[in-house]
A and B are shown apart, each in its own frame.
Chain A
Amino acid sequence: MLQLENVNKDFREFCLKDISFKVEKHDYFIVLGASGAGKSILLETIAGLIRPDSGNLILNGRDITRLPIQQRRIGLVFQDHAVFPHMKVRKNLAYALHGQSRHEIRGKINSISESLGIEDMLDRYPSTLSGGELQRVALARTLIQDPEILLLDEPLSSMDSRLKAGLRALLRRIHRDGQTVMQVTHDYEEALSLGNRIAVMDHGRVLQTGTPDEVFHYPRNGFVAHFIGLKNFFPVTIMTEEGHPYAETRGKMKIRLNSGQDNMKGFVMIRGEDIILSQAIPETSALNIYQGLVREISANPGGFDICMETPETLHALITGQSMEKLNIHEGMQLWLSFKATAVKFIEE
């Protein structure tokens, strides 16, 4: 429903270079990239605050490249919410409904404030509200105009983990209720947790687009893999055996972990540094012990990356000293182990 074709913009310190991708209706589309990658510029360009130097923006088949901001039917929520401080919440919500009848406005305010749980804040000034409440007001203010697509600029970045969980749940609900969302973030956990499609951006370019699985599992280039910094990443379903949870990968590998409810779907991640290699079967308290074949050895700034094939492909990161100690070479059999606590699970 939203298509970008070869969008370019040179903008002082930031730029967009030849951006092309497609967002389908009902997508939760994540643009992932480090700060300065151009993500905010991208959102502002889509919203119409910035005019691209070249390229096209197409919304529902309509070319909106030259269309004024006010006519685009695109909602944008800034990172710092930008709620108008000199107006009560009610007036903030009504701002986009300029020109509509009082009856209509009242109805829409009631319904959106109920939906976002801000009914008891309507007659308060923004200065009396907390960060989380302001974020909800900003969302309500934007959603009240029923935008075709909702653009979010790092909505969770300035929050503590409890607030984050709450807001994530809210965003998921908004998406489930039918809103197409496009969110930019530098946090890959956020990307995995919320998005159904991801575009990775660096220095103004889109490096790869795809499902989280495609992007993380088959990174198209070193940057994506490096940015995410993880190589051990698997889509899993949680199962329980004798009361203890484990994650089953697509390749039917059972990974023991610390938490998780039966039938939960998501992703597990294990840092390369947490994997211990040994020549013989290790005597350890670790719950995850597998045997594997060394497929490939590559040098890293941090040490050596040993690519192992167990039912799944695991990467272990070890030092040069350990390399020598174990005399690792390609094709040899080794034992891998890692603790259940080293396994990180992210719910889908």
Chain B
Amino acid sequence: MKKQGLQWVFSILGGLLLLFVLGPVLGLLFSSSPVRIFETARDPEVKNSILLTLGTSMAGTILFAVAAVPFSWLLARYSFPLKKLVTAIIDLPVVIPHSAAGIAVLGFISRDTLLGKAGSWAGFNFVGHPAGITLAMAFVSLPYLINAARDGFLTVPERLEKAALTLGASPARVFFTISLPLAWKNILSGLILMFARGMSEFGAVVIIAYHPMITPVLIYERFTSFGLKYAQPVSVLFILVVLVFFLILRLLLSKTKNN
């Protein structure tokens, strides 16, 4: 009997939490009529913003994954002096306040820095450019990928890699045929997390590039310029797009799981 009573209390608390999350979201979804949302979807400014947001985050995720995933493998397999320090550095972006992160990245890529000069040579300025947005997004979301990938590699028994080496495979072949496939579930999860985190970033991005406007920034602008009613449709649309996107990715993930 007592146990049931406790379960009830926990369930009620849980229910309140769910309400806390669901309430505002449902309220938002019902705030605008389907007609308004449709109109907003056809607004070129909104369309471009959403595409930009998805594109820059995806680019950042894929680009940085090339370095992050192998690095995660190193972290999983080897211990070295200062490893604790390295792990702490990786987690820094999570604890740094977002706008401060933006300022930090800005100082790193503005015109008169090494990176900024490289950008100029290539013909663009990172500040106020999608490339800068990508960097800001990647900066705040990288830890999620590295940690997920590292955890994934930790689940791959080292013995399998050793066996593969004795069967004549080069270390590279072992990485791509054994380590990566077996850690893939976690890596994919990490990629999705990084993509999601990057896409929802406001503070760091707005410092680097107010324009072109990613959707979080667009929503902010519409709110400050015109008020709640004007910001709601964009918000609804963005949330719907995000939800659909992640539903698809999650389905992809569960398909991999079943394999």
Does A95 lie within 8 Å of B169, measured CB to CB? Answer: yes
Judged by a CB distance under 8 angstroms, whether B66 is at the interface is no
Of the 9-residue stretches A67-75, A174-182, A331-339, which lies at the interface with chain B?
A67-75
- CA distance in complex: A75, B168 (Å): 10
- CA distance in complex: A230, B72 (Å): 52
- Chain B residues, CB < 8 A from A75: 166
Judged by a CB distance under 8 angstroms, whether B159 is at the interface is yes
Judged by a CB distance under 8 angstroms, whether A141 is at the interface is yes
Q: B166, B170, B173, B178: which contacts A84 (Cβ < 8 A)?
A: B178
Judged by a CB distance under 8 angstroms, whether A86 is at the interface is yes
- Chain B residues, CB < 8 A from A96: 167-168
Judged by a CB distance under 8 angstroms, whether A78 is at the interface is yes
A109 to chain B, nearest CB (A): 14
Chain B interface, >50% SS class: helix
- CA distance in complex: A248, B30 (Å): 96
- Chain A residues, CB < 8 A from B170: 70
Q: A48, A49, A86, A95: which contacts B167 (Cβ < 8 A)?
A: A95
B197 to chain A, nearest CB (A): 29
Q: B162, B168, B181, B182: which contacts A49 (Cβ < 8 A)?
A: B162
Does B165 lie within 8 Å of A98, measured CB to CB? Answer: no
Which of A44, A69, A96 has the most chain B CB within a 10 Å cutoff? A69
- CA distance in complex: A48, B163 (Å): 11
- Chain A residues, CB < 8 A from B162: 44, 49, 78, 82
Within 8 A of A (CB), among B135-158: 157
Judged by a CB distance under 8 angstroms, whether B160 is at the interface is yes
- CA distance in complex: A70, B171 (Å): 10
- CA distance in complex: A34, B99 (Å): 61
Does A145 lie within 8 Å of B167, measured CB to CB? Answer: yes
Does B173 lie within 8 Å of A98, measured CB to CB? Answer: yes
Known: A82-B157, A82-B159, A84-B178. A49 touches B164 (CB 8 A): no
- CA distance in complex: A78, B158 (Å): 12
- Chain A residues, CB < 8 A from B169: 70, 95, 98
Residue of A nearest to B167 (CB): A96
Judged by a CB distance under 8 angstroms, whether A308 is at the interface is no
Does B159 lie within 8 Å of A80, measured CB to CB? Answer: yes
- CA distance in complex: A145, B169 (Å): 12
Judged by a CB distance under 8 angstroms, whether A251 is at the interface is no
- Tally of contacts, chain A with chain B, CB under 8 A: 47
Does A82 lie within 8 Å of B160, measured CB to CB? Answer: yes
Within 8 A of B (CB), among A59-102: 69-70, 74-76, 78, 80, 82, 84-86, 95-96, 98
Judged by a CB distance under 8 angstroms, whether A209 is at the interface is no
Residue of B nearest to A85 (CB): B182
Q: B166, B177, B182: which contacts A76 (Cβ < 8 A)?
A: B166
Which of B159, B160, B167, B173 has the most chain A CB within a 10 Å cutoff? B167
Does B167 lie within 8 Å of A47, measured CB to CB? Answer: no
B216 to chain A, nearest CB (A): 39
- CA distance in complex: A98, B168 (Å): 8
- Chain B residues, CB < 8 A from A145: 167-168
- Chain B residues, CB < 8 A from A76: 163, 166
B152 to chain A, nearest CB (A): 13
- CA distance in complex: A82, B162 (Å): 9
Judged by a CB distance under 8 angstroms, whether A45 is at the interface is no
- Chain B residues, CB < 8 A from A85: 182
The 8 A CB mask of B169-199 against A (1 = contact, 0 = none) is 1100100011001100000000000000000
Does A84 lie within 8 Å of B168, measured CB to CB? Answer: no
- CA distance in complex: A76, B159 (Å): 11
Does B167 lie within 8 Å of A141, measured CB to CB? Answer: yes
Judged by a CB distance under 8 angstroms, whether A56 is at the interface is no
B159 to chain A, nearest CB (A): 5
- Chain A residues, CB < 8 A from B173: 98
Does A84 lie within 8 Å of B160, measured CB to CB? Answer: yes
Within 8 A of B (CB), among A135-176: 141-142, 145
B132 to chain A, nearest CB (A): 40
- CA distance in complex: A82, B170 (Å): 18
- CA distance in complex: A48, B182 (Å): 24
- CA distance in complex: A194, B47 (Å): 74
Does A78 lie within 8 Å of B168, measured CB to CB? Answer: no
- CA distance in complex: A191, B198 (Å): 60
Within 8 A of A (CB), among B17-50: none
- CA distance in complex: A69, B168 (Å): 7
- CA distance in complex: A86, B256 (Å): 12
- Chain A residues, CB < 8 A from B182: 85-86
- CA distance in complex: A266, B169 (Å): 42
A201 to chain B, nearest CB (A): 21
8 residue pairs bridging A and B, Cβ less than 8 Å apart: A48-B165, A69-B165, A70-B165, A75-B166, A78-B162, A82-B162, A86-B182, A145-B167
Residues on B lying within 8 angstroms of A by beta carbon are: 157, 159-160, 162-170, 173, 177-178, 181-182
Known A-B contacts: A69-B165, A98-B173, A142-B166. Give 15 more (CB < 8 A). A48-B166, A70-B168, A74-B166, A75-B166, A76-B163, A78-B159, A82-B157, A82-B160, A84-B160, A84-B163, A84-B178, A86-B182, A95-B177, A96-B167, A96-B168
